[in-house]
Amino acid sequence: MNEYRTDFEKLCYACRVGDLENVDRLAAAGVNLNGVDNFDNSPLFLASLCGHEEVVKLLLERGAICDRDRYEGARCIYGALTDIIRDILLAYDISKAVDTSQPFATHISSLLSEEEFLTNGLKLVFKQDNEHIDIHQFLLKARCVELWKTFFSASNKFIPTFYVPTNNRLKIFTLIIKFIYLIPVIHEIKTTEYPELIDLSKELKLETLSNFLDKLRHVTDPSEKSSMIIEFQFRVTEEARLQLCNFVENNIFLNTIDPKNLKTANTPASYNSKIIDPSADILLLAKDSSDTERIYPCHISILSRAHYFQVLFSLPFSENHMFRKLKNNNDSDAFSNLPVISLPPCEFIVAEIVIRYLYYDDSDIPWEYSIDVLLIADFLLEDRLKSMSAIVITQDPQVLKNYSIFEILDVAWQTRMERLEHFVAKILAKDIRKYYKSEEFKDAIMKSSKRISEREETDTIELVDDIRYYLLEKYSLEPDDIQYYETVDDIRELQSAGILDYRKDLDLIDQVLHILHLNA
């Protein structure tokens, strides 16, 4: 059964059948893309062998290895179903495989060159080079605590600018910063720079980097070196995911704010000390079903991953009426001057699922909250999170035990999730004799018929068309089979082929259309 498969087995199956969204979800969850199943097949080999071009591209972008000098890489190339896939694998530059191993990593990397959302940042100043590097405080706190600590004085007072000692070179520090931002840097390192870079990474307690460089500088074989670099970048990305996970739990979720506590003039000093975190630059307000409010101290640069927030943050704060200030009488509070942005009403666990996803691509969505997460993701215009939520809805049997199929259909229409629409149609086709008399089924067809104008079509009802398609699948029929059996009079042949049952199911749909005075 599907629910007993391991995540890697689910990934292999998704690659075999071409389920792009599920491959994306599992890759985002950190499933090893370069493992092999019991038959020594890698996910990339399965996708190549079965001819799923888009899945092949996605796997390569996420870090799947296709080195033609290694057995598995050669097997992928020569086993590819189509010439197009073979050309993709042959032309693929192995060095690119480490650039976008995870979408969150791609976003983190982009932040180093984008200053638009750099607020409450830090500045590393190199006097001898007359240069400086602007970095995000929260990322430094999550990924390199030793360097982050340098921005505090002896009295533990935060200092936003740090003057780098003259014995440290800009080039070496830049490589370290790129590593912190998950930008592949190994290929930029010159042989003469290894000792200095290793020493600095040890000083900053970046053990993953220092240990790897110490091993790599003794390797001369190009193929072995390429493999080591790819495996290293995957390990670094997973390490960063864990670091950001810990950061979210310890610096955001443990520091949530009850707005009621901020409306009193005499806020306890212990409460103030709890919420002061100089890296936060935006407050995210959530309100649950009981009208209880909770504020999460977040970061504009991360929330901007969601398209809704990205557009919102691009507007000038002074002209942006979507922002507001906390109603706090204690002006000394560090958070009183931060802007506040609200999520639509949702349970706090849903807000936290969204936050975890935006910070480190966490895709763990409990079925109980999958529909709520889908609705919030739709509001935020975050398509990947929508897809992940839809996958949970379609794959966890508990969803159908707690929601009617027509509730799911309404959500599918509301969020424009075609995957969910097909999921509903398939279930309706499977049990058409159970559903066709229900008022909900008739209402669903009527609603679907009214959506025709939105699709600029006049001769079809999408839900009916989908159900008819899945009726063919239900009886293992092809459109050509239907045309052939129209000329067959042998009842036994029609019965054994499933044609008679197929026609009965079609008649049930036609009966409903007749009752509703619809022609489709």
Same domain, 459 and 497: yes
Are 200 and 234 contained in the same domain? yes
Q: What is the pLDDT of residues 376-430, one digit of tens each?
A: 999 999 988 998 899 889 888 899 999 999 999 999 999 999 989 999 999 999 9
User: For residue 257, which phi and psi values (nearest 5 degrees)?
Assistant: -120, 135
Q: Last residue of some domain: 185, 214, 241?
A: 241
- Smallest CA-to-CA distance from 358 within 271, 270, 296 is with 296
Give the Cα separation of 317 and 343 in Å (integer).
18
Assign residue 64 the CATH number of its domain: 1.25.40.20
Same domain, 82 and 117: no
Closest by CA to 277, choosing from 57, 414, 120, is: 120
Q: Are residues 365 and 442 in the same domain?
A: no
**Is 401 a domain residue?**
no
- Which range of residues forms the domain containing residue 294? 256-369
Last residue of a domain, one of 185, 209, 241: 241
pLDDT band for 55, please (50, 70, 90 cuts).
Answer: very high
In a domain, 400, yes or no: no
User: Would you say residue 390 lies in a domain?
Assistant: no
Name the pLDDT band for 121 (thresholds 50, 70, 90).
confident
Q: Of the candidates 241, 269, 292, which is a domain's last residue?
A: 241
For the chain, what is the domain count?
4
Return the minimum-mean-pLDDT range out of 112-121, 227-236, 382-391, 413-422. 112-121
Average pLDDT over residues 276-291: 86
Rounded to 5°, angle at Cα 498 from 493 and 501? 120
Do 479 and 510 lie in one domain? The reply is yes
Residue 288 has pLDDT above 70, yes or no: yes
The answer as to whether 402 is a domain residue is: no
Residue 325: strand pairing partners: 339
Encoding tokens for residue 392? 């949970």
pLDDT at 3 over 60: no
3-class SS at 459?
A: coil
Task: Report how far residue 166's alpha carbon sits from residue 144's, in angstroms, rounded to the nearest whole number.
Answer: 21
Same domain for 328 and 284?
yes
The confidence score (pLDDT) of residue 393 equals 93
Look at 159-173, 366-380, 418-432 and tell me which has the smallest mean pLDDT.
Answer: 159-173
In a domain, 379, yes or no: no
Q: What is the CATH number of the domain that holds 219?
A: 3.30.710.10
Give the angle subtended at the CA of 376 by the CAs of 395 and 398, to the nearest 5°: 25
**CA angle 478-479-482, nearest 5°?**
95
User: What is d(CA 327, CA 145) in angstroms, rounded to the nearest whole number?
Assistant: 33
Tokens linked to 149: 């600590």
Tell me how far apart the alpha carbons of residues 110 and 96 are, in angstroms, rounded to a whole number.
16
Same domain as 333, residue 450: no
Q: Give the residue from 390, 258, 380, 283 showing the smallest Cα distance to 335.
A: 283
- Is the domain of 184 the same as that of 289? no
CB 98 within 8 A of CB 63: yes
What would the mean pLDDT of 474-498 be, rounded to a whole number? 77
Query: In sequence order, what DSSP letters do the residues of 63-77 get, joined into one string?
Result: T----TTSHHHHHHH
What 3-state DSSP class applies to 320? coil
C-alpha span between 468 and 33 (Å, rounded) = 37
Whether residue 76 lies inside any domain: the answer is: yes
> What's at 308, amino acid-wise?
Y
The C-alpha atoms of residue 412 and residue 48 are separated, in whole angstroms, by: 31
pLDDT at 317: 53
- Domain assignment of residue 385, yes or no: no
Band the pLDDT of 2: cuts 50, 70, 90.
Answer: very low
What number is the average pLDDT over the span 122-130?
A: 81
359 and 440: one domain?
Answer: no
At 496, the amino acid letter reads S
**% the chain with pLDDT above 90:** 38
Please give the model's pTM, rounded to 2 decimal places. Answer: 0.76
81 and 183 in one domain?
A: no
208-235 as b/e: b if 16+ CB within 10 A: ebbebbeebeeeeeeeeebbbbbebbbe
Alpha-carbon dihedral 394, 395, 398, 401, rounded to 10 degrees = 40
Q: What does the pLDDT read at residue 274? A: 47
Residue 381 within any structural domain of the chain: no
Q: Do residues 296 and 326 both lie within one domain?
A: yes
Helix (H) or strand (E) holding 432: helix 432-435
Domain with residue 310: its CATH number is 3.30.710
Q: Which of 30-39, 189-198, 243-252, 288-297 has the lowest mean pLDDT?
A: 30-39
Query: How far is residue 77's CA from residue 45's CA, in Å, rounded to a whole number?
Result: 8
pLDDT tens track for 426-475: 999 999 999 999 999 999 999 998 876 554 545 678 999 999 999 988 98
**Least confident window among 62-71, 255-264, 306-315, 405-414:** 62-71
Q: What pLDDT does 191 receive?
A: 84
78 shares its domain with 140: no
- 187-201, 262-276, 371-385, 410-424: which has the minimum mean pLDDT? 262-276
Q: What is the mean pLDDT of the chain?
A: 82
Average confidence (pLDDT) over 249-272: 66
Average pLDDT over residues 201-208: 93
Taking the chain, what is the end-to-end CA distance rounded to the nearest angstrom? 37
CB distance 227 to 65 below 8 Å: yes
Q: Name residue 153's amino acid.
A: S
| Choice between 113 and 340, residue whose per-residue pLDDT is larger | 340
